[in-house]
Structure 1
Amino acid sequence: MSTKHVNHLANEKSPYLLQHAHNPIDWYPWGEEAFAKAKAEDKPIFFSCGYSTCHWCHVMERESFEDEEVAEVLNRYFVSIKVDREERPDVDHIYMEVCQALTQSGGWPLTIIMTPDKKPFFAGTYFPKASKWGRPGLMDLLDAVQQRWRENRDELIEHSNEIYALLKHEYKPSTDVQLSSELLDIAFQQLEAGFDAKYGGFSGAPKFPTPHNMLFLLRYWRHNGNPKALAMVEKTLTAMRQGGIYDHLGYGFSRYSTDNEWLVPHFEKMLYDNALLCHAYLEAYQCTGNQDFAQVAGEILDYVMRDMTSSEGGFYSAEDADSEGVEGKFYVFTRQQVLDILGEKDGTLVADFYGITSQGNFEHGTSILNFIDRNVEAYAHKIGIDVAELTKLFASCRSKLYAEREKRIHPYKDDKILTAWNALMIAAFAKAARVLNVAVYAEFAERALEFIQSRLVRKDGRLLARYREGEAKHLAYLDDYAFLLWALVELYETVYSPTYIKWALEVSDELKRLFLDDINGGFYFYGSDGEQLLTRPKEIYDGAIPAGNSVAALALLRLANITGNNELQKMAEAVLKAFGGQVKKYPKAYTFYLVALDYQLSARRKIVIAGSNDSEDAWNMIFAVWQNFLPDTEIVFNDRTKADLVEKILPAVSNQQPLDGKATAYICENFACQPPITDVGKLLSALVIE
């Protein structure tokens, strides 16, 4: 990358924008300066949006944005704007919707050409410099647009106004949609119809993990007893863990698989994927007792603690797919490399089990570690070695390979800290602390939450979206608030500090004040105090990341159950109702919404444990309940060592006291409470847990 050029991105904090700060293109960040320049110079805007670990963004930069010829055209005829989609998801959301509407596809880099008043008239994704692979070249595209801008501008303006009119069309909720378990049944049937019985997952290649599909299916199994729902989750999670999408040496999952069998990943690792997958593996472990699932969840968190945690306690965003300009280079091995590192005997055992062949399963004779269609037990039997001995040998060999891999040039790490993604990981750490009974996970969760509180909350209480190198910036979006609410509920039910409920109630108030649509229901994506863009969208589609509306609905329902606050209940129900008509058209696309709906339709239960934080019997009760998959149950701790706080923040439970000096459980379900219980066995029996 040349450093002789310095453009208007040089003072930004976004790693993605800084990657382009020395392009010969005179890039501007999204802002009034760029739009004022476009109006003053009567030029269209060339808008490019991506993120720092995006492989095809790197390709387009190398081919076009570092090219002097491309820069000369863009600088002469356009005003060029670069946007980091992870910092400005509001801007990305609007223009990605345009791209999908015009081209029937989307992705990054997102390429938009628009008028100086932000109205788009052209959309696409990656373009090579010159036409190839049936794709138009960027140079041809720019030449055609600048010529039409000079000679036939009225047509472009008219087209942009038509697109703007489509964007402005506001979704009106259906008033006659009945939210019932029928929606859950239809979603299950759709997932079952698309299920890959051989390798798991719910689509063909490329295959995305979509963890909320699993979260929904586990609840469907729990409430309906359908064994196929559980079997699909087990198959998918097992196949992913065996495949190359999982990093068998350093842990963590890549973003997606390019094939059906989860072998060849797109190697970038995203914080949000790993947070959500941790939830899925933890819940699958609760449902099945399969220790492999518990192990994977723990390994994901080991990876995050080791590689993705800042010294201040926040979590980094992502790791790139590329190193030294080559996708996957950091992760792959040749068979000879494995033999050289481990020796002939151990190296052969490891290479054979992990699919490392002389021909390779990736590029240039290299192999991605995997054990698709293999397992340690069968392999140990085949070669006549004790399973425990082989497991120990493999662990030792993986450590040696990992140590050798660490000497390589690492992929680029995007070290910005995003509130929304951090909240997802906080929720995962909190849940893992309960399910796996590992105290350090709760410590990491609390430390990250303290980071958000101290670095990403303005003095007036307004949450911000991104922190990097001492700078907190961008008003937080719906996802930031909704995911933080989820994290606070999860962390409360792990450490039982009432102050987390206090903060959660404050977050729910801000959700209502800044984001709620009082007329049509649901939450807008950006706040009423944010930059007013072409439109103010609402999102319910649960894509790679679940929609803020879906997560908010579930978190509000859980908080309502914990606190007894009926206003929160009504707000959540209104969100679900607002999008019911849209969800009904294709329920499979809204599985986190359906997780919230499942909770709403269930016989929600609250268990109040009355006792003292320093008493073993209270924690024995809590630990016993934690081990079970009870997705419609919340545990509230009336901790007598914090009686004043509990009475102030959770007054509804302060009257439920320990009996005869013993920790006591009060189970309330379907608007009725059972007699108090002081015995762990009787508590589990009352919950119908064997």
Structure 2
Amino acid sequence: MEKESFEDNEVAEILNKYFISIKVDREERTDIDHIYMTVCQAFTGSGGWPLTIFMTPDKEPFFAGTYFPKHDKIGMYGFLSILQRVRKEWDGNREYLINSSNKILNAINEPENVQNEELKSDLIDSAFSQFKSNFDNDYGGFGNAPKFPTPHNLYFLLRYWYKTKEKSALDIVEKTLDSMYRGGIYDHIGYGFSRYSTDRKWLVPHFEKMLYDNALLAIAYLETYQVTKNSRYAEVAEQIFTYVLRDMTSKEGGFYSAEDADSEGEEGKFYLWTVDEVKNILGEKAGDKFCAYFNITPKGNFEGKNIPNLIKSSFTVIDTEFINRSREKLFDIRNKRVHPYKDDKILTSWNGLMIASMAIGGRVLCNNNYISAAENASAFIYKKLIRKDGRLLARYRDGEAAFPAYIDDYAFLIWGLIELYETTFKPEYLEKAINLNKDLIKYFWDDKNGGLFVYGSDSEQLITRPKEIYDGATPSGNSVSALNFLRLAHLTGMYEFEDKAHQLLKTFANSITDYPKGYSFSLIVLLFIQSKSKEIVIAADRNNNETKKMIDIINEKFRPFTISMLYSNENKNVEKLAEFISEYNSVNGRPTAYICENYSCKAPITDTKLFKQILKDDD
């Protein structure tokens, strides 16, 4: 629509004569996007982007749709026709339009049906059954085309496997991660994942790369590496981080939002190859070998050219040195092409996800570069995206920070700070997470019905103030907040946070019960509640070798319901955040581990072999 209509003089003349045109960046104004997408779904039964809304001067919508061509087509009105029709109806039948608007507003503002009941434990099994029945056994993922990664679904399945030891849950995760990596949705030359696959096989992506997808997917690969110890999963996570640090990180430390699908007016042009191009770069023999490995053929698999992929690759012995050497040569040549447009907005929410991902990557892979990147991004947010009065903001670009932060900004950043604390054990990150959590409750909590609103009480007040817990392309701010509440409660002993998690789940119990598969991150919270969560406190000098061994033992395995803390002379001020921790002291000056469960602790452990064995037995 941008090319067909918004940049077209004929359309512009009508728009400028009869309308006030407002173009909204839906990532900057998630509140507006959420509300008017709901309106579009109410009007038409479906939604999507580009979203087109006609509204009164009072911002009350009376007509909605998604894509409209410039001119009428068979079965579809064109944008020009719609503009003329809306103008005519507004001049001659305005009362009818306003009545239509009132009906929609009344519908979306209906009081929610809050039962205030606990979620039933069998929802966990129901969700797993839904995922299993929807699983694509041939190509991984769920359903048919288009296929989206939705990594939080895989998080749920990993935790379901951990709790039940249901092998098929882990099989689904591995098949999906393997298939996505082998497909064209993964950039085998420059790394990183595209937003989704247009086909069932994960071959042809929508070539747009999003920061949030890569953050969430890296976590999925890292967790599966912890479970399986398959080095391929660690390598994919490392490659994602290589892409993000190389192409998506600002000089100031924040992470950029996205890269477009198009370059030079063609979707995917930057990423495509012909056999001749590969051979010209690598030589005849090496080019043939590389093409055979990545399924690059004279016929092509996308508009006569090739998306490198491993879907049909049958190589049993992989010449890793050859692949890496060849890939680097192709990458250097590709880098000279016209690059897709980079959306260099720095969003607090998506940065929070990448901070979490890098922090997890740093501790699982023992890589300080990832930890530094997470810390730098956190420092950037606190330097550039905190208002003078302490209010978190949502977006930074070209030296300007704007818009009071939304629920996702708070929820995802708190998640990132919790991961940073459990990676570095620096109390400052725990303190920041606590303070942000208090602000989240202050600005967003619904005192009447529970749950968190999309935008804050101090933000621009729109035609409605929605709440949402559905886990879509990213987990919802409410579901992530619920898990944050639980983790912070166990880290600090502030159990009012745990109460908030229970209240939140009760608020949305009806929605989750109706379709558990759509609320996978909320069910992770339920699994956390149902499981015997474990707190491990290590009382020791941070730089002691035995301390490091104990920390590595905690991090080497997948332990999704375990909270870890370090209490040492270097971070004594953690006592101000978690008063109980002063009771945990080292024995005879040696690094000492305390394993606690259900409010009781085992005898202190000073032997690392015994510590490892006890955790293994518990697993």
Q: Same fold per TM (> 0.5)?
A: yes
Q: Deviations over 1:58-80 (max 9, x none)?
A: xx111111111111111111111
Q: Deviations over 1:149-176 (max 9, x none)?
A: 111111111101111111211323113x
* 8 A Cα contact 1:180 1:601, kept in partner: no
Among 159, 175, 191, which residue is 1:235 paired with? Answer: 175
2:107 aligned residue? 166
Distance 1:633 1:369 in 2: 40
Q: Deviations over 1:264-286 (max 9, x none)?
A: 00000000000000110000111
**Secondary structure of residue in 2 paired with 1:130:** coil
**Secondary structure of residue in 1 paired with 2:256:** coil
Matched, 1:279 2:219: yes
C-alpha deviation, 1:107, in angstroms: 1.4
Distance 2:236 2:541 in 1: 34
**Secondary structure of residue in 1 paired with 2:296:** coil
1:369 aligned residue? 308
2:279 aligned residue? 339
* 8 A Cα contact 1:246 1:254, kept in partner: yes
1:465 aligned residue? 394
C-alpha deviation, 1:375, in angstroms: 4.8
1:115 aligned residue? 56
* 8 A Cα contact 2:534 2:561, kept in partner: yes
Which range moved further: 161-170 or 257-266? 161-170
Among 653, 663, 676, which residue is 2:604 paired with? Answer: 676
Distance 1:473 1:262 in 2: 37
1:64 aligned residue? 5
Counterparts of residues 16-35 of structure 1 (less than 5 Å) = none
* 8 A Cα contact 2:292 2:313, kept in partner: no
Structure having greater relative contact order (Cα 8 Å, sep ≥ 6): 2
C-alpha deviation, 1:685, in angstroms: 2.0
Among 480, 488, 510, which residue is 1:551 paired with? Answer: 480
Q: Deviations over 1:82-126 (max 9, x none)?
A: 100000000000000111222222111100111111111111111
Distance 2:356 2:73 in 1: 45
1:251 aligned residue? 191
Among 284, 292, 295, which residue is 1:352 paired with? Answer: 292
C-alpha deviation, 1:581, in angstroms: 1.3
Name the amino acid aligned to 1:683: F
Among 639, 663, 666, which residue is 2:594 paired with? Answer: 666
- For normalisation by structure 1, the TM-score amounts to 0.88
* 8 A Cα contact 2:62 2:97, kept in partner: yes
Matched, 1:685 2:607: no
1:441 aligned residue? 370
* 8 A Cα contact 1:557 1:572, kept in partner: yes
1:212 aligned residue? 152
Distance 1:238 1:513 in 2: 43
**Secondary structure of residue in 2 paired with 1:84:** coil
* 8 A Cα contact 1:263 1:370, kept in partner: yes
**Secondary structure of residue in 2 paired with 1:80:** coil
Matched, 1:194 2:123: no
Among 313, 320, 324, which residue is 2:264 paired with? Answer: 324
1:7 aligned residue? none
C-alpha deviation, 1:674, in angstroms: 0.5
Name the amino acid aligned to 1:225: K
Matched, 1:225 2:165: yes
**Secondary structure of residue in 2 paired with 1:205:** coil
Q: Deviations over 1:31-50 (max 9, x none)?
A: xxxxxxxxxxxxxxxxxxxx
2:66 aligned residue? 125
Segments ≥4 residues shifted beyond 6 Å = none
2:466 aligned residue? 537
Distance 2:365 2:149 in 1: 23
Distance 2:384 2:164 in 1: 44
Matched, 1:615 2:544: yes
**Secondary structure of residue in 1 paired with 2:596:** strand
Name the amino acid aligned to 1:432: G
**Secondary structure of residue in 1 paired with 2:122:** helix
Name the amino acid aligned to 1:229: A
- For normalisation by structure 2, the TM-score amounts to 0.99
Name the amino acid aligned to 1:62: K
C-alpha deviation, 1:688, in angstroms: 3.0
C-alpha deviation, 1:614, in angstroms: 1.9
C-alpha deviation, 1:540, in angstroms: 0.4
Counterparts of residues 493-532 of structure 1 (less than 5 Å) = 493-532=422-461
Name the amino acid aligned to 2:599: F
Structure 2 unaligned blocks of 5 or more: none
CA shift in 2, pair 1:594/1:608, >3 Å:
same
**Secondary structure of residue in 2 paired with 1:607:** strand
Name the amino acid aligned to 1:663: P
1:636 aligned residue? 565
Distance 1:496 1:150 in 2: 64
CA shift in 2, pair 1:133/1:274, >3 Å:
farther
**Secondary structure of residue in 2 paired with 1:261:** coil
Structure 1 unaligned blocks of 5 or more: 1-59, 381-386
Distance 1:180 1:156 in 2: 44
Name the amino acid aligned to 1:78: F
C-alpha deviation, 1:133, in angstroms: 5.5
Q: Deviations over 1:574-627 (max 9, x none)?
A: 111111111000000011111111112111110000001121111110111101
Q: Deviations over 1:546-568 (max 9, x none)?
A: 10000000111011111111111
1:5 aligned residue? none
C-alpha deviation, 1:349, in angstroms: 0.9
Instruction: Determine what percentage of the aligned residue pairs are the same residue.
Output: 55
Q: Deviations over 1:346-383 (max 9, x none)?
A: 101111121111111001x1010001032542xx4xxx
* 8 A Cα contact 1:294 1:436, kept in partner: yes
Distance 1:133 1:272 in 2: 37
1:8 aligned residue? none
* 8 A Cα contact 2:156 2:523, kept in partner: yes
**Secondary structure of residue in 2 paired with 1:636:** strand
Matched, 1:451 2:392: no
Name the amino acid aligned to 1:542: D
**Secondary structure of residue in 2 paired with 1:160:** helix
C-alpha deviation, 1:135, in angstroms: 2.4
Distance 1:74 1:240 in 2: 43
Name the amino acid aligned to 1:538: K
Counterparts of residues 389-468 of structure 1 (less than 5 Å) = 390-468=319-397
* 8 A Cα contact 2:295 2:313, kept in partner: no
**Secondary structure of residue in 1 paired with 2:62:** strand
C-alpha deviation, 1:459, in angstroms: 1.4
C-alpha deviation, 1:418, in angstroms: 0.5
